[in-house]
Structure formats: C-alpha cells, structure tokens
Amino acid sequence: MSEYRGYEKNSLAFLKDNKLKVGDSVKITSDLTYSGILMPRYESSDDEHIVLKLKNGYNIGLELNKIKKVEIISKNHTKIETESKIKKDSSLPKILLLSTGGTIASKIDYRTGGVTPALTAEDLNASVPELNEIVNVDTEVLFSEYSENLMPEHWKKIAERLDGLVNSDYHGIIIAHGTDTMQYTAAFLSFALAGYPIPIALVGSQRSSDRPSSDAALNLIQAARFIVNCNTKGVFVVMHHNESDDLIACHLGTRVRKNHTSTRGAFETIGGDPAFLIINKKIENNLKDNFFKINDYKPRIKLDTHVALVKYYPGFDAGIIDNLLSSGYKALIFEGTGLGHIGKSMYDSVKKAREKKLFMGMTSQCIDGRVNMNVYESGRDLLEFGITPLSNLIPETALVKAMWALGNSENSDEMKNLMLENIASEFSD
C-alpha cells in the first residue's frame, strides 16, 4: 500500500502500531530528537529502520530498537499541487523556458525517497515568481529525463526546436537541463547553432527544489536577468560560481566542465574566467569584443556518433582500438597524457586507423594547458602517424565537436578542417 511503501515486517508493524503513514510530519526521540516527514523506503531496504526527511532537506535513517518516543505533528504531509495563473506584464521582454528534466525539474519521489524528474516547465516558472518581475515566460517541455539518459539524438531534437524559433520574438531561451551531461549538450548546440541571434542559457541545479539549499530558483532568476541584459549571443551554462548566493557564473558552452559531484559551484570555465559573472543584479562581462567567431547564422544540425573518446592509461589494451575500427567507427579522439602522448603499445593500432582514413585528434588529460606534440620524440611520432593536435580543446568538447564535424563533412580532410576551425570559442586565447 502506498501509505506504507517500502516498509515490511518489523518496520511495517512499527508504523501500524504507532498509527504512522508515509507523508506524516512527526517528531521522533532516539539518541536525539528529530522532526521531519516520514519517507518511503527503497524497495530493497531492510525492515529495521524508518526514514525521515529533515527540514534541511536531508534524509536520516532511524533504527527501530533505539526509538524511545513518537509524536505525530500532522497527518499526510503530501498534498495535491494546484495550478496557479501567472500574471504577465506586457512591457517586459519575453523568453522561452524549455524543460528537458534533471534535478532542476525534480521533486520528491515517494516511492524511493529520492527525487525524480516531475516538474513541468510551467511548474518551474510558477515556483519562481521572481522570474515574472524580470521577463514574461513561455514554457514548453521537450522531454523529462535525467541528463545521464540524454543521448545525441536528444541534442539534435533540442537544436531542431531552437532552429524553429530563430525568427521568434523571444529575447532569449533558457533550457532547464540536468547537470551530469549539460556540458555535452551545450557544446553541441554551440556548434550546430553557431551564430544563433539570441542568447541560449542552459540552467541546472545541483540540489532539488524540495531542499532549502536548492540552487534552482536563483540559477533561473539570474539566467533570466543575464538574457535580458547581456547584449550578446551564444550558448552558455548558467550556474552558481561558488557556494555563495551572491555570485552566478555564465560559462561559454564549449569551455565549461562539471568539476565537482555535488557542490553548487560545480561548473568551471577551463583555461580562463567565466564569460560573465552576475553579482546580485550587476553583470560583469569578461569577454573581448568580437569574441564569437561566427556571426552569420547557418545551422548545421547533423551529427554522426561513430566517434570514440579514448582515454589512454598505462596498461591500455590496444585491441580496444582494433575493435572500434572493426565496429565501424570513423573518428577517434585521444585523451592523452601531458602534452599529448600515448604509449608505443598503441602505435600499430593507430597506423591501422590512419590506413582506414579515420580522423584522429589529440587532447590532454590535464585540466589546463595546451597539447604540444613537437616537444618530445613520442609526440612527433604520433604526428607522423596522422594524429591531429587539438590545442586546448576540452576532451568532452572535442568528442562532441567530432560527432558534429563528422556529420557535416564528406571526408576526413574536410572533417579535420572543421575540427581546427575556431567556431564557438572552443579554443581559448
């Protein structure tokens, strides 16, 4: 039954004896006194604990045999959310909030006690009334997925939807997106929609909206403020710069990486400062004039996923490369060591790839700096084998660019030219 979901045997008997159900607000005395909402348990959990969601947003498990007292504060904390009409001010600029899912569009899942993509774009807008003091928001849901489930075909659908809006009256577009693969989507949109005439801001949240420490609302508010006041175009990732609520960063979509699993300032610009910083209501521009290389909008939305990102490490089995070749892969991006190196054990496989006319690009595992394959003999050997150094292109960005370039070129030489062209500021100064 839903009111006892995940509880069985001893824990179920405990709930029934104390007249408790999932969703009740309770105060429980154990080693300390805890107040919170009784949560469901994972379906494979033991029967010796109950779970509370505390006011700080975290869950805690309490062992049954240590519980001394149970007090019910209120029954059935869960409630049906009703739609609210949002008043619009015709004098404000208009933006589109496009939802794809992720933590920013999540709320409590009473099956698992975790969070799940559930909020619509309209729900997001309604939950952040401050948005409507800055912009008029139209909302749309493309899909509702955690970003680890988004595939290149999803990137293409987003790009096609945005291309269909190129002549709209929107001042800019916010894409609500999960953070785990947001940098990949941002990179693809940067290449596929280079020159897009209005700003595109991908916005996520490291902490879901049910938690008091959630960054969802402020990220959305400042993304809207950025779109209205930035006077630029391009694709950006807009997230907290650090743990402070006073500072939001706007990163170029091709120069950003998620560098922390959980902190609110997880995203960082690699090789420089964020393109823009938002300090309360003030926007600081760190971009140089004419920063974006492509001014005319000519969408190229094709892609080909027959590209592999190969991270070299001591003991790497070169047979993996041979398997990729036999599986029909058409391009390889190496994440090499240092200035751009891979071991001699891979040389024969690299030569086979060259014979098959695959594009091969070299990036570095180092977080910062540039590939330079002319310094050491091993690097010069790899140049002779046909590997193209990709300067300071971030490996993940290089992978996405290679998929895009492969889909928009006729042969490896044309692909190489695209890979070396600075299209969306993917190569930083």
Reported as a single tens digit per residue, the pLDDT across 208-222 is 655 556 788 899 999
Shared domain for 147 and 255, answered yes or no, is: yes
What value does the mean pLDDT of the chain take?
Answer: 89
Q: Tell which of 22, 43, 74 closes a domain.
A: 74
Checking if the pLDDT of 160 tops 50, the result is yes
pTM of the model: 0.82
Among residues 253, 285, 317, the one where a domain terminates is: 285
Please indicate, yes or no, if residue 82 is contained in any of the structural domains: no
Query: How many structural domains comprise the chain?
Result: 3
In this predicted structure, the answer to whether residue 352 has a pLDDT above a threshold of 80 is yes
Which has the higher per-residue pLDDT, 53 or 390?
Answer: 390
The rounded percent of the chain whose pLDDT value lies above 90 is 69
- Of the candidates 139, 179, 185, 397, the residue annotated as catalytic is 179
Domain of residue 220 covers 94-285
Residues 189 and 40 in one domain: no
If asked whether residues 34 and 122 sit together in one domain, one would say no
Q: What pLDDT was estimated at residue 243?
A: 86
pLDDT digits (tens, 9 = 90+) for 220-247: 999 999 999 999 999 999 999 998 888 9
Q: Examine the domain organization and report whether 11 and 54 are in the same domain.
A: yes
Spot the catalytic one: 47, 138, 180, 381: 180
**Tens digits of per-residue pLDDT, 396-405?**
999 999 999 9
Active-site annotation holds for 258: yes
Which of 15, 40, 74 is the endpoint of a domain? 74
Identify whether 86 is part of a domain: no
Q: Two tokens at 219?
A: 């990220």
Same-domain status, 38 and 133 = no
7, 113: one domain: no
Q: Is 302 designated active site?
A: no
Domain presence at residue 84: no
Ranges 44-58, 258-272, 306-320: which has the least confidence: 44-58
What's the CATH number where 314 sits? 3.40.50.40
pLDDT digits (tens, 9 = 90+) for 52-89: 888 876 788 899 999 999 999 998 644 434 345 667 88
Residue 366 has pLDDT above 90, yes or no: yes
- Structural domain includes residue 87: no
291 inside domain: no
| Residues 233, 227: Cα–Cα separation, whole Å | 9
Name the band, by pLDDT with cuts 50, 70 and 90, for residue 125: low
Active-site residue, selected from the candidate residues 21, 24, 53, 103? 103
Same domain, 371 and 400: yes
Same domain? For 40 and 12 the reply is yes
Nearest to 230 by CA among 177, 298, 291, 299: 291
CATH number of the structural domain spanning residue 45:
2.30.30.520
Tell whether 298 is covered by a domain: no
For residue 116, indicate whether it is catalytic. no
Catalytic residue at 179? yes
Window from 114-118, 131-135, 243-247, 272-276 with minimum mean pLDDT: 114-118
Given 21, 53, 258, 330, which residue is catalytic?
258
For residue 217, the domain's CATH number is: 3.40.50.1170
| One domain, residues 143 and 230 | yes
Are 25 and 167 members of one domain? no
CA distance 137 to 95: 5
Q: Is residue 427 part of a domain?
A: no
278 and 377 both lie in a single domain: no
In a domain, 301, yes or no: no
Query: Does residue 415 share a domain with residue 319?
Result: yes
- What value does the mean pLDDT take over residues 163-173? 97
Please tell me the predicted confidence (pLDDT) of residue 53: 84
At 111 the pLDDT is: 43
